[in-house]
Amino acid sequence: MQAVVLRGNQDGYQIVLDQAAGFEEIKEKLRELLDNLATDSPVTDKISFDVLSPKRLLTADQHQQLEAIFGTYDHFQIHKVIPDVMTIEDATRLKEQENVHLATQTIRNGQTLEMKGDVLYFGVINEGGRLLTTGNIYVMGRVLGILQAGYPSSEDKIVIGDFHRAQQIRIGEQINIVEPDEVPDDAQTVAYVNDLHVLEYGQLSELKTINPKMYHQMGG
Amino acid sequence: MGKSIVITSGKGGVGKTTSSANIGTALALMGKRVCLVDLDIGLRNLDVVLGLDNRIIYDIVDVVEGRAKLAQALVKDKRFDDLLYLLPAAQNTDKTALSEEQAKSIVDELKKDFDYVLIDCPAGIEQGFLNAIAGADTAIIVTTPEISAVRDADRVVGLLEKNPLKEESHLLINRIRSHMMADGDAMDIDEITHHLGVPLLGIVLDDDEVIATSNRGEPIVLDSDNPAGRGYRDIARRLEGETIPLMKIQQPKTGFWARISHWFKRG
């Protein structure tokens, strides 16, 4: 395979960079290719290329170098660079965000359990304890402390379960101090942030109207 | 090799020092060699409760700073032959005079000579607390049936779970007022134990005599009829591995004449 290949399909033009070729070689071949293009078929319209980089992650610096090469031609530009691979760090983050995590440990006064993604919680949160996550929280344990979903600022997250004895419910930046008898003593309660950015409580049966996106994700 | 037990609570005034003195004395009465270590540096008072305050020559900071040998600083309680000793805290410095390593090395040294090393922890969760748990094999968490004490105990249990000791901690519920518990005005024993999720070691009833005797420098366990003293003796026996049922919380009985006069008052 050549270091740089030009392809065209119905979506437009693609330039495929061979992962086995050195980056210097790719730059050289790319210049050659673009030179040929510019001289062979003089064009007046701007052409955007998708640069495919299978099995190779380009660094920010390499990105800039590619941009610089395209920048020397008036009619060529990069639409986007698409790699087929991702770093383990990104993959882990993605995995953490997509999965539902189980937690069972007791969270005591003064302790904060910080998690990523959705959390299914079976443990006990005592007064002054805090469960914090970037995603949704589903509680089955005894909650006397603070639940914080959508940390730090995702207001589309929800909390489901029995949390009528919790001290506070927080979603994104919205905080509700739970007053006695404010939240029903019921494991089917849903806490969510409404269109007016106010934290509200509803019933699980109303999830379809509360958060249609999530309702459909769950297969409802 | 003995066992070191830290007596801690988080909140002040729940009876850590009284419990240390009484559990230590009860163990000594059972023939165990016990050393009480006061780590409440700057605010020592375990010596006072034991009636040993006039015998202090050197203290724990003197030992750490090399002014005295460990054996020199130990104060012997003459009431119990060669069984009960106290390592007093320093009075003229603060909790930072001691590091965790130093506290641990002293406790380790004492464990060689004694069956039990009881460490009286200061209130709070700062350096003094860290020093106290550094050398401990296990902990007794003292609380009272009050929400503030239970909340602080929960915090301490959390901290101990983060840095686990060799053995599981135990709970001591102190100053139980039987009539309040019977009326439902105080937190229930089961409720506290369940809430904290720590096994219960024992309960001690609130009794005026506890204060009266400690003012005289005599631990309440020396009074064989006192219910609070019995609570501490039961705890000491449970530490020794005996199985003893929990003391029943009884309401003070109203006498015949008291009941008669109650009728008249009602009318």
Residues A196 and A135 in one domain: yes
Are A151 and A111 found together in one domain? Answer: yes
C-alpha dist (Å) from residue B95 to B12, B72, B110, B128: 15, 21, 20, 5
Alpha-carbon span A191 to B134, nearest angstrom: 43
* CB spacing of A126 vs B154 below 8 angstroms: yes
For residue A96, what are the domain limits? 91-217
The answer, yes or no, to whether ipTM is higher than 0.85 is no
> Is A99 found in the same domain as A181?
yes
Find all residues with CB under 8 Å of B44, minimum gap 6, and list them. Answer: B38, B59, B88, B89, B90, B91
**Residue B266 confidence class, pLDDT cut points 50, 70, 90:** low
Q: Cβ distance A103 to A131 under 8 Å?
A: yes
For position B245, which CATH number holds? 3.40.50.300
- Are A105 and A198 part of one and the same domain? yes
At residue A108, the pLDDT reads 94
Flag if B158 and A124 touch (Cβ within 8 Å): no
Q: Are both A53 and A132 inside the same structural domain?
A: no
Inter-residue contact A102 to A120 (CB < 8 Å): yes
Residues A74 and A147 both lie in one domain: no
H-assigned helices in chain A: 23-40, 60-71, 88-98, 207-210, 212-217
Instruction: Please tell me the number of Cα atoms within 13 Å of A96 on its side-chain side.
Output: 11
Which residues are A14's β-sheet partners?
Answer: A7, A50
For residue A124, which residues of chain B lie inside 8 Å, CB to CB? 197
| pLDDT at A123 exceeding the cut of 90 | yes
Looking at the structure, tell me whether residues A63 and A127 fall in a common domain. Answer: no
Does residue A112 share a domain with residue A20? Answer: no
Residue B81 has pLDDT above 90, yes or no: no
Quote the tokens at residue B222.
């020396």
Q: What is the mean pLDDT of chain B?
A: 91
- Pairs across A and B, CB distance < 8 A: 27
Choice between B179 and B238, residue whose per-residue pLDDT is larger: B238
Residues of B in contact with A113 (CB under 8 A): none
Annotated binding site of B for ATP: 11-18
Among the candidates A85, A119, A138, a domain finishes at A85
At A76 the pLDDT is 85
- Best of B9, B154, B169 to disrupt the A interface (most A CBs within 10 Å) is B154
Per-residue model confidence as pLDDT tens digits over A64-103: 888 888 888 888 888 888 888 888 888 888 877 778 899 9
In the prediction, which pLDDT does B46 show?
94
Which residues sit opposite B149 in a β-bridge? Answer: none
CB distance from B206 to chain A under 8 Å?
no
Cβ pair A152, A138 in contact under 8 A? no
Cβ–Cβ contact B191 with A under 8 A: no
Does residue B148 carry a pLDDT above 70? Answer: yes
Please state the pTM of the whole predicted model: 0.75
Check which CATH number belongs to the domain holding A146 and give it.
2.160.20.70
- Tell me which of B186 and B23 has the higher pLDDT: B23
| CA dist list (Å): B213 to B121, B135, B222 | 22, 30, 9
Q: Tally the domains of chain B.
A: 1
The whole domain housing B165 covers 3-266
Per-residue confidence band for A220, with pLDDT thresholds at 50, 70 and 90:
low
Task: Point out the domain boundary residue: A85, A119, A150.
Answer: A85
Contact A126 B152 (CB under 8 A): no
Q: pLDDT tens across A145-162, in order?
A: 999 999 999 999 999 999
CB–CB contact A127 B154 (8 Å): yes
Chain A positions touching B151 (Cβ under 8 A) are 109, 127-128
Q: Are residues A27 and A129 in the same domain?
A: no
Same domain for A69 and A108, yes or no, is no
**pLDDT higher than threshold 80 for residue B252:** no
What residue of A is the nearest CA neighbor of B156? A109
Task: Answer whether B158 sits within 8 Å of A108, measured CB to CB.
Answer: yes
Residues A74, A104, single domain; the answer is: no
Q: Is B105 exposed, middle or buried (0-12, 13-18, 19+ CB in 10 A)?
A: middle
State how far the alpha carbon of A10 is from the alpha carbons of A16, A77, B71, B240, in Å.
Answer: 16, 18, 91, 83
Using the structure block, give the residue that is written with the tokens 């640069």.
A51
Tokens of A40: 């062979």
Helix (H, G, I), strand (E, B) or coil at B201: strand
Instruction: Show which of A85, A114, A142 is a domain's final residue.
Output: A85
- Distance, in Å, from the CA atom of A160 to the CA atom of A213, rounded to the nearest integer, reads 16
Query: If phi over 0 gives left and psi between -120 and 50 gives alpha, with beta otherwise, what is residue A197?
Result: left
The reply to whether residue B155 touches residue A106, judged by beta carbons under 8 angstroms, is no
